Amino acid sequence: MPDLETKPIKPVEKTPEDAEHKQHSIVPRSSVSGSTLTLVVAIMAFLASLTLGAVWTVNDTAQSWQNDVSREITVQVRPVDGVDLDTALISARQIVGSYPGVRSVNVVDNVAMAALLEPWLGGGLNLEELPVPRLVSVSINESNPPDMEAMAAQLKANVPGASLDNHRAWIERLTTMARTTILTGLLIFVLMMIATVLTVVFATRGAMAGSKHIIEVLHFVGAEQSYIATQFQKHFLFLGLRGALAGGFFAIVFFLFVGWWASGNPADPTSNQVEALFGTFGIGIGGYLSILLLIFIISVLTALTSRFTVLRHVGTLDRSSGDG
Amino acid sequence: MIRFDSVGMRYGSGEEVLKDISFDIDPGSFQFLTGPSGAGKTSLLRLLFMSLKPSRGLIKVFGKDSATLTNEELPGIRRRIGIVFQDFRLLDHLTLYENVALPLRVRGYEERSYRRDVIDLLKWVGLNERIDAFPPILSGGEKQRAAVARALIDQPELLLADEPTGNLDPNLARRLLRLFIELNRSGTSVVIATHDLNLMDQYDARRLVLNDGRLQIYA
């Protein structure tokens, strides 16, 4: 401030002007481009969260299908002339039950068998009149499974018409399908994240295009690069966080709603079908935490993009060469 | 303080807009930089402010070769120079008070430590009634005075002003010139780029005259 003593100025007395002046943010809080950026971030966060949640659900569902199948084996006893089927079933149950690693053994009774076959053979079946194989459902300990080969050999030797189905072919197909599904989901998620990153980066740059004059003024009044970058970074972190929180929030609401609907609350056939296919359709704590992590990543990404954009622009302002 | 030695400047592959410019700006000196429109005044000011690199020649700023200054050193050098842009460059979302205080704010000073200085300076440039106004509602003259106040607020060692009286009435222009003179008497070197002959006639100072990219100096 220059020495003004020689100027025709009276000493300034304390006035209301001496009260603290409101300090506006150096980067304007609200602008059209800022609102657009928030909207873009919100949409991308919502889509990325949906993709993440979908991958999470598919992963859980595929795992549960695989586990359900691998937890159970089946003994099939075909009718053989001269052999009492009920006696054969009792023998099979005793043999299977004697193996360590077997949790429970249940003979599928006639009523259940009739229900199983009803879609193909119609109602009112009398299984006594039909040469239909009977089944013994065996639940096993996955972590300590019984010796399948020995069990199969013993059944074959002692129970005529008995055979053991450990669902290996099913499990292998399901495992392959589950892995393929999960990999496809992950690929989609990675593509979604790349699209999110690019969209957020370009939207942030677009929003900053209208702020270049602010960067220039700050630069020319002697602000350090880091000071300017920090001002913009704080502002864009706020914009990014606001958008990402909105997108993530709606994604979480979506999953909660679909989870509630699929758990059969409205009790309609479609929701029952979905429940049968996906279980509870919940993404669990892990899924929700992943969405929160996604919100954090998108916010930080927005802030860092603004920082690098500022630093690059300041770099072009510093003694730009006349030679171009 | 500032030394130009055989400095040439061209934009792209065009002709040189400044040719073999050599001069010194001494501490406590006062000079007008003048010449017809398009003579290169603004380019010369930008070289002085280090927002342009010369195509050739040597520029020394506060004893340092400007070509060897690092990006970290530049803000420190710029804080010793106040600049008044021809287009004012006020921030529309900040009040007049905040615009004038901006150089101090970005240095990290507390608002209460500079409040009185900013208000005093705004009063002197006749903007005390407009302290809380935003630039879009100010007249061209008011914006120009605010831009001058912003350049002076941190008592720069060198003041560069690009057509500072361009939007002012003669009275206000005289008053502003008096401020520059007073500032100069307190030790600040002043370079005023102008083609206002009336303004230059009011104060006997060195004249740097640019014509067709070449500089002539009239003491």
Mutate to test the interface with A, among B91, B109, B131 (most CBs of A within 10 A): B91
Smallest CA-to-CA distance from A76 within A38, A110, A32, A107 is with A107
- Looking at the complex, report in whole angstroms how far the Cα of residue B17 sits from the nearest Cα belonging to chain A: 10
Question: For B78, which of A23, A222, A315 is closest by C-beta distance?
Answer: A222
CA dihedral sign of residues B27, B114, A317, B162: negative
Residue ranges in chain B whose pLDDT is less than 70: none
Tokens 């055979």: give the residue: A163
A vs B, Cβ pairs < 8 A, gives 135
Question: For B74, which of A18, A21, A318 is closest by C-beta distance?
Answer: A318
Task: From residue B106, give the alpha-carbon distance in Å to each of A30, A50, A225, A305, A313.
Answer: 21, 42, 11, 22, 18
- Selected residues 34-53 of chain A with any CB under 8 Å from a CB in chain B: none
Q: Say how many C-beta atoms besides its own lie within 10 A of residue A162's C-beta.
A: 26
Mutate to test the interface with B, among A221, A235, A318, A321 (most CBs of B within 10 A): A221
Question: For A319, which of B10, B53, B178 is closest by C-beta distance?
Answer: B53
Q: Do B153 and A1 touch (CB under 8 A)?
A: yes
Instruction: Check CB contact of B131 with chain A, cutoff 8 Å.
Output: yes
Mutate to test the interface with A, among B47, B51, B118 (most CBs of A within 10 A): B51
Question: How buried is residue A272: exposed, middle or buried, by Cβ count under 10 Å (0-12/13-18/19+)?
Answer: middle
Instruction: Check CB contact of B94 with chain A, cutoff 8 Å.
Output: yes
- Looking at the complex, report in whole angstroms how far the Cα of residue A199 sits from the nearest Cα belonging to chain B: 28
Q: What is the C-alpha end-to-end distance of chain B, expressed in Å? A: 18
Task: Give CB contacts under 8 A, 24+ apart, made by A149-152.
Answer: A150/A99, A151/A95, A151/A96, A151/A99
Task: Give CB contacts under 8 A, 24+ apart, made by A17-23.
Answer: A17/B119, A17/B128, A17/B131, A18/B115, A18/B116, A18/B119, A20/B111, A20/B112, A20/B115, A21/B95, A21/B97, A21/B98, A21/B111, A21/B115, A21/B131, A21/B132, A22/B95, A23/B98, A23/B105, A23/B111
- Would you state the pLDDT for residue A276? 60
Q: Chain B contacts of A9, Cβ < 8 Å? A: 120, 123-124
Q: Chain A contacts of B13, Cβ < 8 Å? A: 324
- Would you state the pLDDT for residue B170? 84
Residue ranges of E strands in A178-255: none
Q: Do A323 and B12 touch (CB under 8 A)?
A: yes
- Would you state the pLDDT for residue B197? 85
* SS3 category, A290: helix
* Domain chopping of chain A, boundaries: 31-66+173-315, 79-160
Residue ranges in chain A whose pLDDT is less than 50: 1-14, 321-324
Residues contacting residue B132 through CB under 8 Å, at least 6 positions apart:
A21, B95, B96, B97
Instruction: Check CB contact of A20 with chain B, cutoff 8 Å.
Output: yes
pLDDT single digits (tens) A218-273: 988 888 888 988 988 888 899 899 999 999 999 999 988 888 877 766 556 666 66
Q: What is the DSSP letter of A86?
A: H
Q: Chain A contacts of B45, Cβ < 8 Å? A: none
Instruction: Check CB contact of A1 with chain B, cutoff 8 Å.
Output: yes
Helix (H), strand (E), coil (C) string for chain B: CEEEEEEEEECCCCCEEEEEEEEEECCCCEEEEECCCCCCHHHHHHHHCCCEECCEEEEEECCEEHHHCCCCHHHHHHCCEEEECCCCCCCCCCCHHHHHHHHHHCCCCCHHHHHHHHHHHHHHCCCHHHCCCCHHHCCHHHHHHHHHHHHHCCCCCEEEEECCCCCCCHHHHHHHHHHHHHHHHCCCEEEEECCCHHHHHCCCCEEEEEECCEEEEEC
CA dihedral sign of residues B173, B175, B177, B180: negative
Residues contacting residue A274 through CB under 8 Å, at least 6 positions apart:
A261, A262, A281
Q: What is the DSSP letter of A73?
A: E
Instruction: Check CB contact of B112 with chain A, cutoff 8 Å.
Output: yes
* SS3 category, A139: strand
Question: For A24, which of B66, B94, B116 is closest by C-beta distance?
Answer: B94
- Selected residues 287-316 of chain A with any CB under 8 Å from a CB in chain B: 315
- Would you state the pLDDT for residue A250? 94
Smallest CA-to-CA distance from A306 within A186, A209, A170, A196 is with A209
- Would you state the pLDDT for residue B25? 93
Mutate to test the interface with B, among A10, A15, A21 (most CBs of B within 10 A): A21
Q: Say how many C-beta atoms besides its own lie within 10 A of residue B121's C-beta.
A: 25
Instruction: Check CB contact of B56 with chain A, cutoff 8 Å.
Output: no
Instruction: Check CB contact of B186 with chain A, cutoff 8 Å.
Output: yes
Q: Are A109 and A125 in contact (CB under 8 A)?
A: no
- Would you state the pLDDT for residue A265? 63
Q: Are A53 and A250 in contact (CB under 8 A)?
A: no
Q: Are B1 and B31 in contact (CB under 8 A)?
A: no
Token readout for B200 is: 């230059």
Smallest CA-to-CA distance from B193 within B153, B154, B165 is with B165
Query: What are B24's strand-pairing partners?
Result: B3
CA dihedral angle for residue A253, residue A259, residue A262, residue A267, rounded to 10 degrees: -80
Q: Do B53 and A317 touch (CB under 8 A)?
A: no
Q: Chain A contacts of B128, Cβ < 8 Å? A: 17
- Would you state the pLDDT for residue B135? 94
Task: From residue A212, give the alpha-carbon distance in Å to each of A128, A216, B17, B50.
Answer: 87, 6, 27, 19
CA dihedral sign of residues A197, A199, A200, A204: positive
CA dihedral angle for residue A288, residue A290, residue A291, residue A293, rounded to 10 degrees: 130
Q: Do A223 and B106 touch (CB under 8 A)?
A: yes
- The residue type at A249: F
Q: Are B53 and A322 in contact (CB under 8 A)?
A: yes
- Would you state the pLDDT for residue A268? 64
- Would you state the pLDDT for residue B58? 93
- Looking at the complex, report in whole angstroms how far the Cα of residue A216 sits from the nearest Cα belonging to chain B: 9
Nearest CA in chain B to A28: B93
- Would you state the pLDDT for residue A1? 45
Smallest CA-to-CA distance from A33 within A233, A244, A209, A216 is with A209
Smallest CA-to-CA distance from B192 within B19, B26, B7, B29 is with B29
d(CA B49, CA B169): 28
Instruction: Check CB contact of A220 with chain B, cutoff 8 Å.
Output: yes
Mutate to test the interface with A, among B19, B61, B86, B106 (most CBs of A within 10 A): B106
Assess: ipTM above 0.90. no
Question: For B98, which of A24, A218, A223 is closest by C-beta distance?
Answer: A24
d(CA A257, CA A254): 5
Residue ranges of domains in chain B, CATH in brackets:
28-46+72-218 (3.40.50.300)
Instruction: Check CB contact of B9 with chain A, cutoff 8 Å.
Output: yes
CA dihedral angle for residue B48, residue B51, residue B52, residue B57, rounded to 10 degrees: 40
